[in-house]
Structure formats: C-alpha cells, structure tokens
Structure 1
Amino acid sequence: MNGMHGRSPLALDADGEAWVATTRDAMSIADQVSQLFVFACEGEHDDTVDAITALRPGGIHRFPTGPIDGVWRAARRMLESADVPLVMSGDIEGGTISYPFATAVPNQMGLAACDDLDLSERIARIVARESRALGYDWSFTPVVDVNAEFRSAIVGTRSYGSDRETVLAQARTYVRALQAEGVAACAKHWPGDGFDSRDQHLVTSVNPLHMDAWRALFGKIYGTLIGDGVMTIMSAHIALPAYIRERDSLAGRDAFMPATISRLLNEDLLRGELGFQGLIVSDATGMGGLTSWMEREAAVPAVIENGCDMFLFSRNPARDIDLMMRGLRAGRLSEERLHAAVTRILSFKAALGLHRKSVEERVRPLDAMTTILRTPESQATAREAIGRGVTLTKDIDGLFPIGPAVHRRVVVIAEEGWSFFVGALERSFEPFLAELRTRGFEVRMYDPGKHPTPEDTDLVLYLVGQEATPAAYHIYLDLPKLHGGHRKGMTQYWREIPTVLISFGQPYYLFDAPTARAAINAYNALEHAQVEVVRRMVGDAPFTGVSPVDPFCGQEQARW
C-alpha cells in the first residue's frame, strides 16, 4: 500500500525528541491521562473556558459562537492556562459550517463541483491562514468518504463526491495546502463511509465492501494520503466486517465492532498494512455508534487501548477522565498504550512547533488577527469558487435564462434546513429573494391556503437549504412539509407552471422529484451562493459547475 515505509509525519529533530521525552517523563500519570482528551468548548465565557482548562486536557475543540473579540480573548485564555501546550482543533468544513468573522468558503462538494485543483488549493490556503490566525492548529478535514449511497444524510455535501479519483485529487490538494500553512489535516472517517445510508452519530454504521474492493477504494485513498504525509486520521464508529472476518473467520458480533475500539482496524490495518505513523483521533465518543455498542466504563479505556491516541469529546469530561484512570488501574488500558499515545500526542504538538511558540505567536493581537480575516482577496476567491460550483443539472424546456418580462410573478416555496453544528451560520433565503426583487421580479412566498396557478404565477421556485449534517438520519424532498400538509403535498406544479428545483444543499432531490423540468444544485446556502445562483438564472454568468455525483441517483426516470 502507498503509505508503507514512509517517513513519519510526526518525525522530529533531536531537540523536538528531547522535549517530548522530558515533558512526558515529568508528567504524573494523572497528567498523562488528561493529555489523551480533546474536550469541546462551546462559547467564550470565562467560566466555560475555565471549566475545560481546569481539567488540563491535551486539546480543546472550539465551537466559537460570539463576536471576534470574545473568540480572541477565549483563545488566549485557553493557551495561557496550559503548562503543556494545548492543541486547538475545529470542524472547518466550509459551507454553513463557517464562522461569521471568517471567509465563508464552499463545502467540499461545492468545491469539487468547480473541478479546478488550483482553485481548491487557493481555498484551502485561505482556510489554513484564517484558522491559524484564530488560534487553530488542527482541522478535522478533509472528509474522504465516498458518495456511493445517495440517501446518506451524513456524507452528501461534506464529501468530494462519488468518484475515487476526484476524492483523492481534491483531498491531496487540501492536505498539502493546509499542512504547508502549518495546520494539521485529519482524513476522516476511517475506515470509510458512504456505502451505508445510516449515520454513525445514531447507529454503528457498516462499510459493506469486500476487501479487494475496499483496498481498491478506501485503501487507495488512505494509503496515498499517508504517503503524502497526512498528520492525523479520525477513526470512526464504522464497522468493516470483511477485514475482521479476513482475520477471524468465526467472528460474530465483533465483526461489526466500530473502528474506534477495534485494534484490528486501527493497529493491524491502518498502522500495519497501510503504514500510518501519525496520530489517530477517535470520532466524537458521545455518538450513538459507540454508546449503543458498549457501556461507557468499558468504552472509555477501550478507545485508547485499541489504537486511538486521542479521545474526542465527552458529555461529562471529569467523569470520563476518572473512567480512563479506573481503566488503567483495572488493566483495561495498559501502561504501554498510555505511554505510546502520550508520546505520539506530544510528538504531534512538537511537529506543529507548539513547544516553541509563545501565546502571542499562536494568537496574535486582535487588530493583527482581524487584518487576516475576510480580506478582499479571500472574499473574491471564495465568491469565485461558490459561483463556479453552481451546477445546472436539468433544463428540459430550455427555461434559462429567465427574466421579469416573461417570469415576473414568482412564487417561492422554501425550507431553509438546519445544522447540527454549534456556531453554524444562520440560515435565511433573504439574499436570494432580495436579488430577485432587485432585478424586477415580483416575489411572494407560497401560501398553503392558495395554490399558485398559471393565471397568477409565472414561475415557481423550490428552495431547499439542507446541507449534509449529523443526526438528520435521512434527507429527502419533503413535499408535504413544503406545501403545508400531507394532502397538499400531492399537488405538483412541474407541468402547469414553469418550476425550478434549487438545492442549496444536498444534490439528490431529483430522486424525490423526478418529473422536475429544471433543477440547480448550489451545494450550500451561503449568501454569495444565493446571489450567484440568481446571476446564472438570469444569464449574467454561465453555469459552469460539474456535478461530483450522479444527481439523477441512478434513476433514468429523473432524466426526463
């Protein structure tokens, strides 16, 4: 496999190795155990920050919610509290999982739709530079899952699509750019998602591939990224029964063990066969894919004992630290694994140079920070990418371009969607509606008590803003909800009135509306995305997006 025999992405010079050994050996067992944890911090209040830092974790995962001055102050407070440098991580995935004070960039699918690796690299560098300015050292990206099962609500727009070569090319570009800017990348979700429509936030999901197919797909993706030097990989609550049974033909329930606690998947396959020498972080340990498998007391030490180096998130941080200590005393966590994990954690921090950086170097003064965020150049690049990704997937009647001379009276049927992520951008279609009105269209929102008719309506627009998000379970075009009732949901407008289905999120809604005559995928509902869609609808800019997936979901019916 591609990753074998490569140089460790955590390789250090002699001074770095000495710092790791000296720091580790000076720690108490309790402090070593605390280093295993990455706890989430939601908000910027001093009490919130202090409650987390008092536990002396190895890392803090930040969900900033307040204005930039509060975010800055909280980051400084976190770093100043730590004797051993903290690593600060974030879910920096783009789309509406963006911060209001940073440049809003496309999500992974929207970026893949641009089909331009140079543009992808420019976006990745914007993300990295702004992340570093905000104090982040580690981004839990890229997602290298593959959109094989279109009903998967958790993969969708978070991935680069359904083609292995596209996923791999985009991911390699992203990892290279991110790490060149000093931010560690994290390929996820090991051992690979996208073939199960279920979500590991809710259930242990399954990668059903036979090992020949797995090695040709996910083995190729992860092996190549390992060879490229990706620093971290996230082990998820996803089973790979084919590999377990390759090693143990009699495996029963254990064939469906989540990778997070599978020594075979983490140590034998990822480290042994693929040769990964970087850091393995678990996926969030409060997710149903783990909590439904094993009781917490056993699960906490099992995550580290079975190959993960860092333990992500906790609903009760102090209790989980205690459970890890109990596991160590009871032999569920060996001293050997604790030593190896802490060594790798400190090596990771040293590889990022955190042992040499002052707080001021990691989080610059507020005025210096703000000069790096949302620069005109970054904003222009992001808008270019957002616009170029907009994809016209269907236009049977040659509807576009539209204009108020023919399509003046517009009815909008909308569902803005929601996001699981704390701090995600607020959702509104006001930028889209305002742009239409500015261009002379008369826009009214759909009234469930009065169906639009050809006599009072020239154009119907469905706007759906649901990007992929954890815990949604299923995402589909919910016509009864959109139309205000189950009986009303049976009424269709595609044949009576010119109608466009516009997704500012998931790309698969033609499965639920196969007779739609016109459809556009924009992949995210960022303000620029809404304006750029209108610009293309009226002919001010061409549709240039290349769909990273089959928007027809394998259904020939949806093409007509």
Structure 2
Amino acid sequence: MTDLLHGSADPLALAPEDRDWVERTRNSLDTEARIAQLFVLSSREDSAAETAELLAVRPGGIHRFPTGDLDAALTQTRIALESSEVPPIITGDIEGGAISYQFTTPVPNQLGLAACDDLALTEAVAAVIARESVALGYNWSFAPVVDLNRAFRSAIVGTRSFGADADRVLSHARAYVRTLQQHGIAATAKHWPGDGIDDRDQHLVTSVNPLGPIEWEQSFGRIFRTLIDDGVMTIMSAHIALPGFVRSLLPDAGREAFAPASVSHLLNQRLLRDQLGFRGLIVSDATVMGGLTSWMDRAEAVPAVIQNGCDVFLFSRDPASDMALMLKGVREGRLSETRLDEAVTRMLSLKARLGLHRRSPSERVRPTDEVRAMLQTDTATGVATRAAGEGLTLVKDTAALLPLDLGRHRRVVILADPGWSFVSGAPPRSFEPLEQELRARGFEVRAFDADAPPTRDDTDLLIYAVGQEATPSLGQIHLDFSKLHGGSRKAMMQFNREIPTLLVSFGQPYYLYDAPNMETYVNAYCSLAINQRELVKRLVGEAPFTGRSPVDPFCGQEQLRW
C-alpha cells in the first residue's frame, strides 16, 4: 500500500530514481508515442477484441466501466498490463450508488453518504472502495465529485455530490481524498471550476458557473484550494464556463467568456495553477461530451485541450483519428512541443508516483480467486449497510403515517419507476428487495395496475418508489406521473387524499417539488438492495430515521413543507 499524501507543495514529487525513470521513458518516446500517453480510452466490454483494439494505439491509460464478469474484467486488465511497454494507468468512475460493479460491495452514492453526516463513516466507506479498487487493478479514481448541489432540476449533479453546503462538501471530500490516496489510489476533485449552479448537463451543452469571483472564491475556490493544499493528485477540468473570472481579466471577452474550462488557458493555467497553486495533473472531462463538441470543431478541440492546460485527454470515439489530429496540431504549431512534453511528464510522473513502473502485472492484478476473496467481505458489507441505513432521511410526515403497521396498512400497492443509468454494466434496478421485506413482515403487496387503479376499498397504503439517480444525458429529473400512472390523461389522477400515500425517492432528493401535497416523504438516495432493506426497517419502526438532508428537499418553497 502506498500513501500518496504530501501535504501541499507537489503531489507528483518524486524520488531521484523515479524522476530518472520519467525522463528516460519520455525521452525514449517519439512524438506519436508521447501523444498516445496523454490518452485514457474507455473499455465497456471486457472482451479480447476490445482490448486488442485499445492496445493497438498504445494509450497511456484504460478506463474500465463496470461489467458483470469478474474473471473477464481481471483477464483483460492483465492482458493490457502485460502487453504495454509503458505501464498503463487503470482508471474508473468509482462513485458508488448506480455507478458500481455487481461483484463489489454496494455502497451509497455521495449524497446518501453525506446524509449520514459522519466523517468517520465517510472514511470507512472510502476505505472499502479503495481496497476493492486496488484489488481490481485500479490506480486512479475519478472521484470525489465536489460540486454544489444547488440547482434542484440538475440531472447530472444531484445524487453524485456531497450536497449543497460548501462546508459539508469540503469536509467529506477531504476525508474521501485522504482515504483513497492513503490506500494508493489517486483521487480526482471534479468538476473544475464547479458544477451544480446551472441545472443543465455538460454532457449535452456547455454549462455555466455564474458566480462572480468573490462568491466563487468563497465556495468552489475554497473547496479546490483546500484539497490542493491537502495534496489531491488530480483535478478534472470540465466543459463548464466561468465567465465571471474570465471577464475580471478580459472585460470585453464576448463569446470567449463562455469557453469550457477544458479548453480555457485562463481557467486551467491562470486560475487553477497560478492562483490556486495546483501542481498535480489536470485531466479533461470526457472529450466526447456535448459541452465540448458543440463549442469547437474536433480538429481544433483535440490539440486545444492539451495546449490550454489539460495533461490528459479523456475518451475518444475514434482514438486513431484523434491522435492524428493531435499530431497535426503539433506540426502546425497549435500544440507546442513544450506543452506536449509538460503534459507527458505529468502523466508519467503520476504513474511513477503510484509506483506503476516498479510493479509487475501479476503484482498489480492478483489471481481471480484471491481478488474475489477481497470483495464483499463481511467487514465491508457491514460498513456499507450501516452507511445505507444511517443516511435514510425522513423529510416530512405531516400525516403521521409512520410507522407502518399491519392493522392499518396491510394491503400495499407500489407504483414503481426504477429509473436507469447511463453507465454500461451498472447493477440491475428493481424494487424487489422492498417488496420482499414488506411481504416478510406480513404486508400484502401488489403492483399498480393502470387499468384498475387502487381505491380506498382495496388499498390501505400506496407507495411511490422512484429510483432515478443523477446520470448523464438525462437533461432533467422530475416526477413523471404519465409514466407512473400509465398515460398522459391518467397522470392527472392523484390518490393521496383518498389513500394513505408514501413517496420514497431512491434517487433525486427533490421530488416534493412535483408532488407538494404528498404528506409523507423519504429520501433514500439510491436503490441498492441494502438501502431498500434498511428502509423497510425504518418504515415499520424497527430502527429510527437518522439521516440529515445535505440539500434543501423543499427547494426553497414553503408549500412543500405541509
């Protein structure tokens, strides 16, 4: 295990022998190979054909999305390590909740974790993630999310952040970063320069952080500055504009005030490096996202990402073509040799700081049986279950519906919308654990029938179970009554004045905005089976609700409180 915490100065500082490896390796690479080192490409299939296609362009790293086959995942990771002259770095979006492997310990998403309001528990969950990630061969996690969840319609920040309050976000992020890096996983603070004020999704458009310099410094600036001082190794530069800062330097910036950070010299160099003092590695957010592709032509954007301050180019729909565009940018002077070498040096320094050049493939990925024994241990499951339960938040119960009991609530109808996840290989979504736990306690549970809606004569309790967590490309999250009730006309039916009704969100925490007259509402934050099981314990009074909301679930609207 390698402790990667430095304190403040340089999170990529190396011993002399490691610096020598970086310099020798960099100097041995031709221009095309140096360019390839800047690319982290994505893997979704864990297939031999996909791995061969990725390795053909000799990328600096491979990003592994979750799949359901542990042996296949480990096998393809080993092949990538064994087949590469320069050791590749293995990255992942390891955030918990919907972004989980099916064979790892299921842990709550960041919002559910923040609702526990227990930094020791955040550290314990981060340690579970780190240990299992190391076992799976990961070296670099694109987490934590340090955005501020203030735009309640945001479908991309929502459940992925530690909440709306900068102090709470910072305290949990510090614990999370510290724990990951103590276990040998490079952490990433994202999304620079800060998301969650604009309710749009940078996967679809160039979104905007509208804060002026003073307010930005007091919130996002303080968060990033503190994490930099703590020694966070990497920061992800997103397709998010910060016009307030740009105009403080260039009052007549015009359109350029809204340039995404991923291609903004002012945001990456002047603000992040010069003013905040960051000396670690800057990775772009995924370059296939609409926030970049809608801003700039691809031939211009590819070299611009590196020239304007990012050290790593994340993802590509056509790696060979993008690498050719990067080379063309070098030959035409749009990407300087100096900047290219600087970025390559940082990428190799990150690898050296992680010790990748000193570890054999067999040391980086152990035999499958050994790895399996390190996943979903009793200790890890206990930590995850505790976090799932303690974060559950009773937002309101003005009807005094809870606790449920068989005398009043035996016949239960569930209206379910499990939601979906953009991430390939994410765990399957259903509310079967909720139903099983209720039935085990004697409740009679049936699914909502749009052609035979429940009445007070045949139903004692109506439960809306909605499971949409934050996910890319969704646009907005709202309570979709047309989908829930089986049609646009049926969407206008409301049952809560006739039948005792419970609304449970296993995702987005703001559904009261769409159902202000629901009198009993719970935020469970994610629909993992452990969340559902722990929820039923609290619904029937076997355990108390202890979660403290990290956001304003009433959306600033008094109407929602009643």
TM bucket by the smaller chain? over 0.9
Asked whether the equivalents of residues 66 and 100 of structure 2 are also in contact (C-alpha less than 8 Å), the reply is no
Q: Which runs of 5+ in 2 are unaligned?
A: 1-6
Shift of 1:8: 0.3
Shift of 1:93: 0.6
- 1:62-108, Cα deviation, whole Å (9 max, x unpaired): 11324111111111001011111101000101002110111010100
Counterpart code for 1:148: R
* Matched residue, 1:281: 283
Shift of 1:195: 0.5
Match of 1:71 among 70, 73, 78: 73
- 1:112-170, Cα deviation, whole Å (9 max, x unpaired): 00010001100000100100000000000000000111111100000000011100000
Asked whether the equivalents of residues 68 and 103 of structure 2 are also in contact (C-alpha less than 8 Å), the reply is no
Shift of 1:7: 1.4
CA distance in 1, matches of 2:217, 2:98: 33
Asked whether the equivalents of residues 66 and 426 of structure 2 are also in contact (C-alpha less than 8 Å), the reply is no
- 1:423-457, Cα deviation, whole Å (9 max, x unpaired): 11111111111111111111111111122111111
* Matched residue, 2:52: 50
Structure 1 runs of 4+ with >2 Å offset: none
Matches within 5 A, 1:44-443: 44-443=46-445
CA distance in 2, matches of 1:453, 1:68: 47
- 1:329-378, Cα deviation, whole Å (9 max, x unpaired): 11111101001000111111111111111111110111211111110110
* Matched residue, 2:3: none
CA distance in 1, matches of 2:134, 2:279: 24
Which has the larger displacement, 353-362 or 503-512? 353-362
The answer to whether the aligner puts 1:445 opposite 2:459 as a matched pair is no
Matched residue SS, 1:224: helix
- 1:27-60, Cα deviation, whole Å (9 max, x unpaired): 1111101001000011111111111011111110
Shift of 1:404: 1.6
Counterpart code for 1:325: L
CA distance in 1, matches of 2:101, 2:407: 39
Shift of 1:187: 0.3
Matched residue SS, 2:372: helix
Asked whether the equivalents of residues 202 and 239 of structure 2 are also in contact (C-alpha less than 8 Å), the reply is yes
The answer to whether the aligner puts 1:31 opposite 2:26 as a matched pair is no
Asked whether the equivalents of residues 44 and 66 of structure 1 are also in contact (C-alpha less than 8 Å), the reply is no
Asked whether the equivalents of residues 44 and 64 of structure 1 are also in contact (C-alpha less than 8 Å), the reply is no
CA distance in 1, matches of 2:9, 2:268: 19
CA distance in 2, matches of 1:64, 1:406: 43
Asked whether the equivalents of residues 163 and 549 of structure 1 are also in contact (C-alpha less than 8 Å), the reply is yes
- 1:192-249, Cα deviation, whole Å (9 max, x unpaired): 0001010000000000001100001010000000000000000000000011101101
Q: Which runs of 5+ in 1 are unaligned?
A: none
Shift of 1:405: 1.9
* Matched residue, 1:526: 528
* Matched residue, 2:4: none
Counterpart code for 1:267: Q
Asked whether the equivalents of residues 92 and 139 of structure 1 are also in contact (C-alpha less than 8 Å), the reply is yes
Matched residue SS, 1:187: strand
CA distance in 2, matches of 1:66, 1:460: 34
Matched residue SS, 2:58: coil
Asked whether the equivalents of residues 146 and 192 of structure 1 are also in contact (C-alpha less than 8 Å), the reply is yes
* Matched residue, 1:479: 481
Q: CA RMSD in A?
A: 1.2
CA distance in 2, matches of 1:34, 1:285: 15
Counterpart code for 1:430: E
Matched residue SS, 1:113: helix
Match of 1:498 among 481, 497, 500: 500
Counterpart code for 2:185: V
Shift of 1:475: 0.2
CA distance in 2, matches of 1:520, 1:192: 28
CA distance in 1, matches of 2:59, 2:443: 55
- Give the TM-score taking structure 2 as reference length: 0.98
Q: How many residues align?
A: 558
Shift of 1:544: 0.6
Counterpart code for 2:340: L
- Give the TM-score taking structure 1 as reference length: 0.99
